[in-house]
C-alpha cells in the first residue's frame, strides 16, 4: 500500500530527525487514518520538498511524530502549465480542479466566462475560490504531488486577455480549446516554451467575442478531436496531451 501523504507547509525537522504533524493534518492521521508506530508516511511542504519516514509516535487526537528517513527536493516542473477554467454548474467545477490537480497542472484560474451558467459574485467568489483551493489541496495529497497547485482569484475575460498577453510576451504559448478550431495540440507548438496556458470554456462554449479577444492577445485556437468534451473533462485531456508532448512526463 502506498504511504499516506500529508502537507505541512513549514516542514521543520528537529535535531533528532523528527517532523511533527499537527492540526487538521495531524487529526486526519491520528483520528481518521489511525496510523500507528512504524507505519510509512510521506510529508511534503507543497513547494517541492518531500520527506519519507515512519511514524515514531501518535498522541492525543491530532499529533503525529514522523522519524525522517529521507528528504528529496524536487525541481520545479518545466514548462509551467496554467489552466484557465471557466466556471461550471453544480460540482463540475470542483471535479475539473480535482482532475487538473491529479494530472499535474501548476496553476488554475477560475474564469467568469460570458456563457458560464454558474455565477460567482461578492462573497460567493471568495467562497468559490476557497472551495477550489481546498479541492486542489486534497487532490494534491491523494496524488502525492511535490508541488501544491496554485488556485488564483476569480478572473474576468479582460483578466484572461491580460494573462494571455503576459504569457506570450514571456516566451510561452496560450492555447484556447475550441471545437471549430483547425489546429490540434502538437509538439511543434510546445517546444521550446517556458509556460503553456490552456483556456477551457464553459458549458455553452467560448463566445466569438471572447475567442477573438484571446487570439488578438496572441492565443492559438486548438481542438481535441472529433468529439465534444464537457468543460469538466476537456481541461484534463488537453493537459495530458501537453504534458506528454513536453519533457514533463519524461521518465
Please tell me the least confidently modeled range out of 116-120, 166-170, 207-211.
116-120
pLDDT for res 2: 82
pLDDT for res 226: 85
- Residue 45 in this model has a pLDDT that exceeds 90: yes
pLDDT for res 212: 97
pLDDT for res 1: 64
Phi, psi values for residue 70, rounded to 5°? -155, 145
* 8 A C-beta contact, residue 145 and residue 104: yes
The neighbour count for residue 119, using CB atoms within 10 Å, is 11
pLDDT for res 161: 98
Mean pLDDT, rounded, for 183-208 = 90
How confident is the model over 122-147, as pLDDT tens digits?
A: 899 999 999 999 999 999 999 999 99
pTM of structure: 0.93
Which residue would you say has higher pLDDT here, 182 or 101? 101
How confident is the model over 74-101, as pLDDT tens digits?
A: 999 999 999 999 999 989 999 999 999 9
Burial class for 36, CB neighbours closer than 10 Å (0-12, 13-18, 19+)? exposed
Per-residue HEC secondary structure of 215-249 comes to: HHCCCEEEECCCCCCCHHHHHHHHHHHHHHHCHHH
User: What domains sit in the chain, N to C, each tagged with a CATH number?
Assistant: 5-73 (2.40.240.20), 80-249 (3.40.1280.10)
Side-by-side strand order, sheet with 183-184: 150-151, 107-111, 80-86, 195-200, 173-177, 220-223, 183-184
Mean pLDDT, rounded, for 179-190 = 86
pLDDT for res 15: 81
* Cα Rg of the chain, angstroms: 20
Burial class for 66, CB neighbours closer than 10 Å (0-12, 13-18, 19+)? buried
* 8 A C-beta contact, residue 219 and residue 185: no
Helix (H, G, I), strand (E, B) or coil at 180: coil
Please tell me the least confidently modeled range out of 35-39, 48-52, 172-176, 245-249.
245-249
pLDDT for res 227: 85
**How many CA atoms lie less than 13 Å away from 47 in the CB half-sphere?**
5
pLDDT for res 12: 85
- Residue 51 in this model has a pLDDT that exceeds 90: yes
Please tell me the least confidently modeled range out of 11-25, 85-99, 212-226.
11-25
| Whole-angstrom distance, CA of residue 61 vs CA of residue 27 | 6
Q: How confident is the model at residue 217 (pLDDT cuts 50, 70, 90)?
A: very high
- Residue 251 in this model has a pLDDT that exceeds 80: no
Amino acid at each position: 500500500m502506498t504511504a499516506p501523504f500529508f502537507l505541512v507547509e513549514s516542514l521543520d525537522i528537529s535535531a533528532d530527525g523528527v517532523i511533527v504533524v499537527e492540526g487538521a493534518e495531524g487529526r486526519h492521521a491520528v483520528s481518521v487514518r489511525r496510523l500507528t508506530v512504524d507505519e510509512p508516511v510521506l510529508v511534503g511542504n507543497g513547494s517541492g520538498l518531500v520527506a519519507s519516514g515512519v511514524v515514531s509516535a501518535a498522541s492525543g487526537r491530532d499529533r503525529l511524530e514522523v522519524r525522517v528517513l529521507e528528504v528529496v527536493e524536487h525541481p520545479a516542473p518545466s514548462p509551467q502549465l496554467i489552466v484557465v477554467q471557466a466556471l461550471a454548474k453544480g460540482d463540475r467545477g470542483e471535479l475539473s480542479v480535482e482532475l487538473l490537480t491529479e494530472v499535474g497542472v501548476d496553476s488554475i484560474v477560475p474564469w467568469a466566462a460570458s456563457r458560464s451558467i454558474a455565477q460567482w459574485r461578492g462573497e460567493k467568489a471568495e467562497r468559490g475560490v476557497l472551495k477550489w483551493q481546498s479541492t486542489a489541496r486534497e487532490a494534491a495529497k491523494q496524488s502525492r504531488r511535490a508541488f501544491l497547485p496554485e488556485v488564483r482569484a476569480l478572473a474576468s475575460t479582460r483578466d484572461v486577455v491580460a494573462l494571455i498577453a503576459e504569457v506570450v510576451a514571456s516566451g510561452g504559448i496560450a492555447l484556447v480549446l475550441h471545437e471549430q478550431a483547425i489546429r490540434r495540440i502538437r509538439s511543434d507548438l510546445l517546444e521550446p516554451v517556458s509556460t503553456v496556458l490552456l483556456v477551457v470554456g464553459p458549458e455553452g462554449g467560448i463566445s466569438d467575442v471572447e475567442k477573438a479577444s484571446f487570439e488578438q492577445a496572441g492565443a492559438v485556437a486548438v481542438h481535441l478531436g472529433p468529439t465534444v468534451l464537457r468543460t469538466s473533462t476537456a481541461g484534463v485531456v488537453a493537459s495530458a496531451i501537453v504534458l506528454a508532448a513536453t519533457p514533463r512526463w519524461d521518465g
